[in-house]
Amino acid sequence: MNTAELLIRCLENEGVQYIFGLPGEENLHILEALKQSKIQFITTRHEQGAAFMADVYGRLTGKAGVCLSTLGPGATNLMTGVADANLDRAPLIAITGQVGTDRMHLESHQYLDLVSMFTPMTKWSQQLVKPQITPELVRRAFKIAQAEKPGAVHIDIPEDIAALEVTGEPLQTDGHELTRAADQSIQAAALAIANAKNPMILVGNGAIRAQASEVLTEFATALNIPVVNTFMGKGVIPYMHNLSLWTVGLQQRDYISCGFDRADLVIAVGYDLVEYSPKKWNPDAKIPIVHINLTPAEIDRSYIPITEVVGDISQGLAAILQKIDRHESLTPYALTLRDEIRKDYTKYANDDGFPIKPQKIIYDLRQVLAAEDIAISDVGAHKMWMARHYHCERPNTCLISNGFAAMGIAIPGAIAAKLVSPDRKVVAVTGDGGFLMNCQELETAKRIGTPFVTLIFNDGGYGLIEWKQMNQFNDARFIKFNNPDFVQLAESFGLKGYRVKTADSLIPILRLALEQDVPSIIDCPVDYRENLEFTKQSGGLTCHI
């Protein structure tokens, strides 16, 4: 047995189902070892796509997704997806091929110090220098990647080390024991919540990773405390629940900003500062904060908790609820915002303007997809509207990259989502800019049989940057481009292509596309004049006292 074969046995021991990547000269031994493995190698069309697939696989399953590249340009292509996983707290293992150890001291063809390059964007980056340490290296890589806060780990494998003979066995994997918060912290949190008159719950992706949705909903309901979620915390409380105030995180003020203005306590549950800066909702650092999470609070002058409940989130919430002794009913101010928030959402239901307003596109998408179906948003102007208007009944049914916020994630991510949940319908929601960054992976989707719909918000430019330019300079430059015929492009891949020509045709087209047994593309013209209109409205937002 050589090192590459032992590596694959160790990956099998970790429960790896897929490796996403590209073949290369320096990873040939790994690819050869996969011939006899139950692990399925998914050949992608670009390393960035492979890393995004591993990224989304990790986020949906909680198990590290694995991606593979060769050295040099293959490894550098992998980096964007690896960085995205790390800042979006998705467990991922990136494996790179490398030159032989006999070339590392020389200026050599395609050689880069990949361990050093991956170090700033991973939790751990290490080279396999001796065959016999393979089991320890792999076990440690998965343990680090999957531990809170989860993220990316990099393993670099020189080609001569991969070929060396070795004896060894995979190490036993260890279980995850729940940690309990200190009683003193539980008591302090309970006292602070019991005394608050206008509390709010701010919930982030950590609560989804901890599978705390049910307990959090019970906690909020029992205490009548309104809940807002970050972009990455959607669905942690059902959006139709009467305490759900939907999503916070836009740079502009929105209705929920009024709630934070009046809050006398924020209960931050599974909240991560990388999702939405506390400077946006607590700029003067005057709002008291109770931090409930698996890890201690990060340091930020706008996020200094009065108490930290560090441990299993569900157990922490349940313990706090048992300790709270409230004698009077509570009606926090933020609950008065609910009707305005919902009125703003539903007013686009029958809008027949064309090109279609982004609010209407998203409203229609929500009507078509079931509660368990998955929408994956790319990055661009449409992402801001998806964050504000696409609401979820269940966790992990709307995936938005908002830690690293990398364009191009939607199509590779949809492939991974379909592999994880083949019986659910999946829609990749993207702009025309993000679409062309990784549309080549539609060939991968067709080849491996993962049918999903790509819904393109087509405005012929980088709409989010135009939005920001107009806000800051009242002028826009360098953001327009030309697009191919997306319907013909779909057909050239052997896919289904549709073009939306009227507002009332979007829902029928979505339903038709979702029934296809091959991937589909929908070209939907969007009216982004709504971007500046929203900015104007938010600038004039008045909070009613």
Domain of residue 34, CATH code: 3.40.50.970
> pTM score, two decimals?
0.96
Q: What angle do CA 234, 236, 237 make, to 5 degrees?
A: 105
pLDDT number for residue 108: 79
If we measure between CA atoms, which residue out of 8, 13, 15 comes closest to residue 170? 13
- Determine which helix (DSSP H) or strand (DSSP E) holds 265, and give its type and residue range: strand 265-269
pLDDT at 500: 98
Joined together, the tokens standing for residue 149 give: 């806060």
Q: What is the pLDDT of residue 522?
A: 98
Residue 204's closest CA among 403, 372, 429?
403
Q: Could you tell me which of 54, 55, 63, 6 has the C-alpha nearest to residue 33?
A: 6
Residue 176 lies in a domain: no
Domain that holds residue 312: 183-335
What per-residue confidence (pLDDT) applies to 331?
79
- Closest by CA to 530, choosing from 347, 281, 365, is 347
- Are 152 and 211 part of one and the same domain? no
Based on the domain organization, do 297 and 394 belong to the same domain? no
State the CATH number of the domain containing residue 278: 3.40.50.1220
* pLDDT the model gives residue 540: 58
Q: What is the pLDDT of residue 234?
A: 96
What distance in Å separates the CA atoms of residue 202 and residue 285, rounded to the nearest whole number? 16
Residue type (1 letter), 259: G
Is 288 a domain residue?
yes
* CA distance between the termini of the chain: 73
The one-letter amino acid code at 261 reads D
Give 321: exposed, middle or buried? Use CB within 10 Å, 0-12, 13-18, 19+.
middle
Clarify whether residues 392 and 417 are in a common domain. yes
Q: Residue 132 in contact with residue 166, Cβ under 8 Å? A: yes
> How far are the Cα atoms of 168, 206, 409 from residue 171, in angstroms, in the given order?
9, 28, 33
User: Rounded to whole angstroms, how far apart are CA atoms 187 and 322?
Assistant: 10
Q: Are residues 17 and 130 in the same domain?
A: yes
Do 387 and 503 lie in one domain? The reply is yes
Q: Are 239 and 317 in contact (CB under 8 A)?
A: no
Contact between residue 212 and residue 239 where contact means Cβ atoms under 8 Å apart: no
CA 353 to chain centre: 31
Residue 222 lies in a domain: yes
Query: What span, in angstroms and rounded, lies between the C-alpha atoms of 121 and 77?
Result: 14
Residues 231 and 94 in one domain: no
Is 113:88 a contact under the CB 8 Å cutoff? no
From first to last of its 545 residues, what are the pLDDT tens digits of the chain? 999 999 999 999 999 999 999 999 999 999 999 999 999 999 999 999 999 999 999 999 999 999 999 999 999 999 999 999 999 999 999 999 999 888 888 787 888 999 999 999 999 999 999 999 999 999 999 999 999 999 999 999 999 999 999 999 999 998 777 899 999 999 999 999 999 999 999 999 999 999 999 999 999 999 999 999 999 999 999 999 999 999 998 877 888 888 899 999 999 999 999 999 999 999 999 999 999 999 999 999 999 999 999 999 999 999 999 999 765 677 788 888 888 889 889 999 999 999 999 999 999 999 999 999 999 999 999 999 999 999 999 999 999 999 999 999 999 999 999 999 999 999 999 999 999 999 999 999 999 999 999 999 999 999 999 999 998 999 999 999 999 999 999 999 999 999 999 999 999 999 999 999 999 999 999 999 988 888 877 665 667 64
Could you tell me if 493 and 358 lie in one domain? yes
331 & 352 share domain: no
- d(C-alpha 85, C-alpha 91), whole Å: 7
Single out the residue in 109, 129, 163 at which a domain terminates: 163
127 in the same domain as 245: no
293 phi, psi to nearest 5 deg: -165, 170
DSSP state of 167: -
The token pair at 62 is 């909680």
Q: Are residues 237 and 151 in the same domain?
A: no
| CA distances in angstroms from 17 to 28, 44, 210, 256, 416, listed in the order given | 20, 16, 22, 42, 11
Predicted local distance difference test score (pLDDT) of residue 534: 85
Domain count for the chain, please give it.
3
Its sign, for the CA torsion 305, 309, 310, 312, is negative
